[in-house]
Chain A
Amino acid sequence: MAVITISREPGALGEEVAARVAGLLGFLLVDRGFLARFRQEADLGEADVAGVDEANLGEECGSDPESEDCAKLRPDLIARLAGDHDLVVIGGGGQGLFQNRPGTLHVRIVASRRFRVGQARSHRGLTAREARRYIMDLEARRSRYVRFLYRMNWADPSLYDLTLRMDRLSIEQALNLIVAAADEMRLRQVPRRLIVENLLPEIEKRRSSARFANDTEREFARFLEFYRIPYQYEPRTFPLEVDANGKVLEAFAPDFYLPEQDLFIELTTMKQSLVTRKNRKIRKLRRLHPEVNIRIFYQRDFYNLLAKYGLLKETSDKNVRPPDRE
């Protein structure tokens, strides 16, 4: 199956681009969240994978043979997945794992240090110094991870088919460039059996019910899963107010993000006072981040969605059907 690996410098928007590419092409997005869920389903113990995260591994796995085994567990999982699914693999040494594999596109996403520090500051509410340190730490760990597993220098340009510099590109443009490259390399070839029954990757069925804050969010997630619309739950927190020291005083995390639509969705089915507060936050978010596409779902919108499928609980056939219909 086709594989697109995306290696990204911290803060260069690689995660956002990868999610959009996976959504547009209908490929399975293999990121940290996916691997954690996969691990749960495959019933792998915590100990088996404790050190498998690329951010942790760089420091820990170099000397200990047991850690070395656990480090190789993650590439094994990804390699197995690639046998059955089209994948977008973000990080995780994908450029090494699939280095010479046919049907693979290796993408590197970079940006200037200044750009990346700015991103880290706005996404994580860090001061400039904290953001620089955060980026340097993460860079060093990722670099060590790739070097440890594949004896490669992750910054070596010859590892990549396509390198994108995000200073001058929008996410949309980066997405289009990657898709164009994938098409040029004829990665999109969908077998007919997949078209008919299962074009898009199966979204995992078992989700922890504790993951969602309330029943409305859970039901909405089921709608999205049913129609195979990729989503992320509360993936990003937007700082709305920051004091002089860079400390975040007010922030807002929309409930859902649909990468394919580049759309955040906030569900609001609670009492009016909270709705008013949320409305105020959303207005503020739109003012501070006009590029963010967000849609608010009020209680009535949600009931409409349920009513469309005849799922409002109080609805009975008696109410709907004409009385003279026997």
Chain B
Amino acid sequence: MYSDGSSPIHGRWKKTHMLSRFDQYIVEVLITQDAIARRVAEMGREVAATYGNSLPLLVGVLKGSALFMADLIRHMDIPLEMDFMAVASYAGHEPGQSSGAVRITKDLDHVIEGREVLLVEGIVDTGMTSGYILRNLKARQPRSIRLCTLLDKPARRIVKVPVAFRGFEIPDRFVVGYGLDFQQLYRNLPYIGVLSGEATGLARD
């Protein structure tokens, strides 16, 4: 709850026919555009106060953090550098084929040894991806490494990851928007919405 009495989380369901065709499978707006903007501004100031003039390197995890990262740094009035990395996501398994292992598809351009590093995520869910990246970056011996995420879904955590800066703790719902996708769609929604079970395939149960 914010000081003006508004809540960042909206509980009411929106009927499909009330929404435009593009977002017709969004059944609920969980966090509004305004709420995101306010919270990201707060987080930017909080992160800036933590790092001061230590020239932190902000590492965005592609692609989910792109919008959050872009907005976050505009509220940080300190010198900083930014970089991105990407890892391959789990892609299922066909009979006779190996599911393989996570790998970095885009590595950092910077050397981070001795640097203050902030890993920026759009969402921390099971913690598997963040856990892998944190472990990978720690091995490069930065001076410090912290995790900043817009959304934290602790109900589904499998791998414990230390979240230093958290935008919103959200319930166990399937969310998209503001950089987060489902099958590469919906990243451009300006709010965080709940995707229908019909779209995700979860409706059958």
Contacts and interface: CB of A to CB of B under 8 A. Distances in A.
Contacts of B135: 26, 199-200
A320 B93 contact: no
Interface string A205-233: 10000000000000100110111110000
A5 B20 CA distance: 62
Majority-rule SS of B interface residues: loop
Nearest to B107: A196
Contacts of B132: 200, 227-228
A205 B205 contact: no
A195 B139 contact: yes
Interface string A287-324: 00000000100011101111111111111010111111
A309 B89 contact: yes
Contact of A307 (B98, B159, B200): B200
Residue from the set A203, A205, A226, A303 with the largest chain B CB neighbour count within 10 Å: A226
B182 A312 contact: no
Contacts of A79: none
A156 interface: no
Interface string B118-131: 00000001101101
Contact of A315 (B91, B107, B201): B201
Contacts of A260: 159
A223 B128 contact: yes
Nearest to A196: B107
Given A196-B104, A307-B200, A322 B21 contact: yes
A261 interface: yes
A19 to B, nearest CB: 16
A148 to B, nearest CB: 38
Interface residues of A, number: 47
A98 B185 CA distance: 54
B140 A310 contact: no
A56 to B, nearest CB: 33
Contacts of A77: none
A184 interface: no
Interface residues of B, number: 43
B18 interface: no
Contact of A225 (B91, B99, B205): B99
A304 B201 contact: no
B200 A312 contact: yes
Given A228-B101, A317-B183, A305 B126 contact: yes
A225 B101 contact: yes
B102 A227 contact: yes
A197 interface: yes
A210 to B, nearest CB: 15
A199 B138 CA distance: 11
Given A225-B101, A304-B202, A199 B136 contact: yes
B11 interface: no
A205 B129 contact: no
Contact of B125 (A308, A311, A324): A308
Nearest to A299: B205
A303 B205 contact: yes
B22 interface: yes
B153 to A, nearest CB: 10
A226 B93 CA distance: 11
Contacts of B182: 310, 320
A195 B140 contact: yes
Given A261-B160, A320-B25, A195 B202 contact: no
Contacts of B32: none
Interface string A243-278: 000000000000000101101010000000000000
Interface string B192-205: 00000011111011
A314 B160 CA distance: 31
Contacts of A140: none
19 contacts: A26-B135, A222-B90, A225-B101, A227-B131, A227-B159, A228-B102, A229-B158, A261-B158, A295-B158, A304-B156, A308-B174, A309-B90, A311-B90, A312-B202, A313-B201, A314-B201, A315-B200, A319-B201, A320-B199
| A-B pairs, 9 with minimum CB distance | A312-B201, A315-B201, A307-B200, A227-B128, A222-B99, A310-B183, A190-B139, A311-B92, A205-B98
